[in-house]
Amino acid sequence: MEAGAALSLQSCSWIGYEKAGRKSGGFLLFSRGCGEEKRFQTLGLRDSRSRVALVRSRHLESKVSCSHKKAGASSAESQSFNVAADEALILKRKAEDITSSLNGHCIYLVGMMGSGKTTVGKILSEVLGYSFIDSDKLVEQAVGVPSVAQIFKEYSEAFFRDNESKVLRDLSTMHRLVVATGGGAVIRPVNWKYMKQGMTVWLDVPLEALARRIAAVGTASRPLLHQEPGDPYTKAFVRLSTLSEKRGKAYANADARVCLQTIAEKQGHDDVSSLTPTAIAIEALLKIESFLTEKASIGRSPYLQG
Ligand SMILES: Nc1ncnc2c1ncn2[C@@H]1O[C@H](COP(=O)(O)OP(=O)(O)OP(=O)(O)O)[C@@H](O)[C@H]1O
Ligand SMILES: O=C(O)C1=C[C@@H](O)[C@@H](O)[C@H](O)C1
């Protein structure tokens, strides 16, 4: 039971996993179940202040959710509503926890094509109050060509890489950005010098999931995947496998690794496809927090002045 029920963020609806009682006013009250300690740990809420705040916020927001719930909503609908609200709240709390130690430093998301750098990056930027930047788009603007695929075709990959390095160099002097980097940005050591001015986070996604995501939208916008013969899934999978073998070590230079397979296992799922982008963003914040805490514990708080 326990793997799925106790540890799952996906199934941690307030109603389902806190023991809930109903008051005459229709509001929910929570009592602490025996699995709560474990859940707090899973959510990365180790100190009592965060825990109290989360429980209080859940209580308050549950009043709002209950008073707005449609009378005819199915239990599946209300459970997924609660899961989404729960995740959003945890995300917000975690962002508040790390804001001061991050001290305005940029976050660079690295990972293979389709790993979710854009999707997760937008969520992180919003919750941290940062701006979101896609480095591929900056290269397109700098070159004056509307797509990366066209830059590869009209110029060359090397030309694209040179411009990508220039863009990363320029970004390295800035603050309060979440940057979705190009999938191949990790292969040039100089790019690491630029990205390490901030915090680097690797979104590590199994190849099958990447190929599935990319096949769903087609390979046309991803020039490195488009040349292979075959159906979109096979094209993507074959090429991504080769790229991943070449780049695996480079991605591992990142300060933090967000491994989707590990999150899925923690939540009791076999497959990463059940993970929401918000759950992945939460894990990213937890990993960022661990990195900052570890550095601070050895007297090397990377981003605090003084
Ligand atoms: N957690 C997720 N679950 C399911 N699909 C997702 C998830 N995250 C992203 N996707 C989908 O996968 C595709 C690729 O996502 P996204 O554009 O965020 O990746 P990326 O790393 O920025 O890709 P690229 O480097 O190729 O630009 C999109 O269609 C997106 O909707
Ligand atoms: O993985 C890669 O090498 C690439 C990823 C994309 O984001 C683009 O930067 C470009 O298509 C190259």
Enter the ipTM: 0.98
Name the residue at shortest CA distance from atom 9 of ligand 2: 182
**Domain presence at residue 305:** no
Q: Which residue has the tokens 């050895």?
A: 298
125 and 196 in a single domain? The answer is yes
pLDDT score recorded for residue 73 = 63
**Domain presence at residue 63:** yes
**Domain presence at residue 288:** no
The number of the ligand 2 atom at minimal distance from the alpha carbon of 223 is 11
289-303 per-position pLDDT tens digit: 999 999 888 877 676
The number of the ligand 1 atom at minimal distance from the alpha carbon of 115 is 21
- Asked if residues 148 and 223 have their Cβ atoms less than 8 Å apart, the reply is yes
87 and 187 in a single domain? The answer is no
**Domain presence at residue 17:** yes
Distance CA 76, CA 304 (A): 45
**Domain presence at residue 71:** yes
186 and 78 in a single domain? The answer is no
User: How many domains does the chain divide into?
Assistant: 2
Q: In the listed set 254, 274, 291, which residue is the last one of a domain according to the structure? A: 254
Give the domain range for residue 132: 103-254
- C-beta 182 within 6 A of ligand 2: yes
Q: How many CB atoms lie within 10 A of CB 205?
A: 23
Query: Distance from the CA of 129 to the center of ligand 1, in angstroms?
Result: 21
Query: Distance from the CA of 184 to the center of ligand 2, in angstroms?
Result: 5
pTM, two decimals, is 0.79
Q: What angle do CA 72, 81, 258 make, to 5 degrees?
A: 160
Query: Distance from the CA of 119 to the center of ligand 1, in angstroms?
Result: 6
Ligand 2 pocket test, pick from 133, 136, 143, 156 with the greatest ligand atom count within 8 Å of Cβ, gives: 136
**Domain presence at residue 242:** yes
147 and 78 in a single domain? The answer is no
Q: What angle do CA 272, 273, 279 make, to 5 degrees?
A: 70
90 and 113 in a single domain? The answer is no
In this prediction, residues 139-160 reach a mean pLDDT of: 97
245-281 per-position pLDDT tens digit: 999 799 999 999 999 999 999 989 989 999 999 999 9
